[in-house]
Amino acid sequence: MRLRYYALAVIALIALAFIYGFAVEPYWIEYTAHKIEMPVKRSYTVLQLSDLHLRDFGQREREIVKHTEALKPDIIALTGDLVSSEPRADEIARFVKQLRSNLGVFVIMGNWEHWRPSELIPKLESIPNVHVLINSSFQIANDLTIIGMDDDLAGKPNEELAFATVDYKSARLLLFHSPIAFAMVKKPYDLALAGHTHGGQIKLPLLPPPMVPPGSADFVSGFYEREGRRMYVSRGIGTSVIPMRFFARPEVARFELIPPNLTR
């Protein structure tokens, strides 16, 4: 009899885990906040949204628009994989058009934008204040430049082209989708933002994820520093392959880029 109760308890726990993983955690977005010292003359607030894998403009997307507007960012960085297995260019463009920032929305390519090509990029480029960076850069002011690389996994990244017009007297914020680029880009920058990994998407607590997608290298989520370079890997917002998250909550990351003298 006791064995039967144990078996029922295990079945119940597994059922609850599946309900949580499919119906709760994928929609339980964590808004993280980080202060980063960079050689800027004024503070900049940057919001990173990654891996939305957007299928339609639903409740989740409306909530993200509402929250991002309340945070009043200077810059919004969309670090790839806006697209899902069924690319909905009109819905994605509708979402991006409603994002509000003082200095621009910056979009880079992820692997899914290459795997599911559509008319998305021309639609995004037609939206005021939206900048699609494919191996190119955009100078915000004389103290900050945004650099966008094509995806290492599915695209054709070109470091020389991406940095060709960069003002090296300014702070440099580098955007790439797959974290493997962290080990490959040699040009100097102050902070890189990446996505792609979904934080493992499905994993057990205190254990590394059993699987991360190709292009992740040994990076999963959070900050990494090597040879004086810094990268932040977002857990992203959407899901891929399996519409489930477990101990890898979706994330919108907020970065306050501050001048060195403000931290002393």
Q: Quote the DSSP letter at residue 21.
A: I
Residue tagged 């997307």 (tokens): 61
Q: Identify the three-state secondary structure at position 62.
A: helix
> What is residue 263's predicted lDDT score, i.e. its pLDDT?
52
Q: What CATH number is attached to the domain comprising 255?
A: 3.60.21.10
Please say if the pLDDT value at position 264 is more than 70: no
Predicted local distance difference test score (pLDDT) of residue 250 = 97
Q: Which sign, positive or negative, has the C-alpha torsion 152, 129, 236, 240?
A: negative
Helices (H) and strands (E) in the chain, counts: 6, 12
User: What is the spatial distance between Cα 251 and Cα 236, in angstroms, rounded to a whole number?
Assistant: 5
The pLDDT, as a whole number, for residue 10 is: 77
Q: What is the domain range of residue 64?
A: 2-263
**Rounded to an integer, what distance in angstroms lies between the CA atom of residue 217 and that of residue 70?**
35
What pLDDT, on a 0 to 100 scale, did the predictor assign at position 176?
98
Using 50, 70 and 90 to split pLDDT, how confident is the model at 165? Answer: very high
Task: Return the beta strands (E) in 6-78 as ranges.
Answer: 30-37, 44-49, 75-78
Burial of 229 (0-12, 13-18, 19+ CB in 10 A): middle
pLDDT score at 219: 95
Share of residues in the chain with pLDDT > 70 (%)? 98
Whether the pLDDT of residue 34 is over 70: the answer is yes
> What pLDDT score was predicted for residue 113?
92
Indicate the helix (H) or strand (E) that contains 258: strand 251-258
DSSP 20: I
Q: To the nearest whole percent, how much of the chain has pLDDT over 90? A: 75
Residue 1 pLDDT level (bands cut at 50, 70, 90): low
Instruction: Check whether 142 has a pLDDT greater than 70.
Output: yes
Report the mean per-residue pLDDT for the chain: 93
pLDDT on residue 228: 86
pLDDT tens, position by position, 94-140:
999 999 999 999 999 999 999 987 789 999 999 999 999 999 999 99
pTM for the full predicted model: 0.94
DSSP string, 136-190: EEEEEETTEEEEEPPPTTTS---HHHHTTT--TTSEEEEE-SSGGGGGT--S--S
Domains: count for the chain: 1
CA distances from 250 to 159, 205, 221, 234 (A): 30, 15, 11, 9
Structure tokens at 231: 């990268």
Distance CA 70, CA 14 (A): 38
- Segment 142-155 mean pLDDT: 96
Does 159 have pLDDT greater than 70? yes
Question: What does the block give as tokens for 178?
Answer: 């797959």
- Predicted confidence (pLDDT) at residue 242 exceeds the cutoff of 80: yes
User: Mean pLDDT, to the nearest integer, of 1-5?
Assistant: 73
Nearest to 231 by CA among 246, 253, 204, 203: 253
Q: Please answer whether residues 248 and 202 qualify as being in contact, where contact means their C-beta atoms are separated by less than 8 angstroms.
A: yes
The pLDDT assigned to 7 comes to: 75
> What distance in Å separates the CA atoms of residue 4 and residue 47, rounded to the nearest whole number?
50
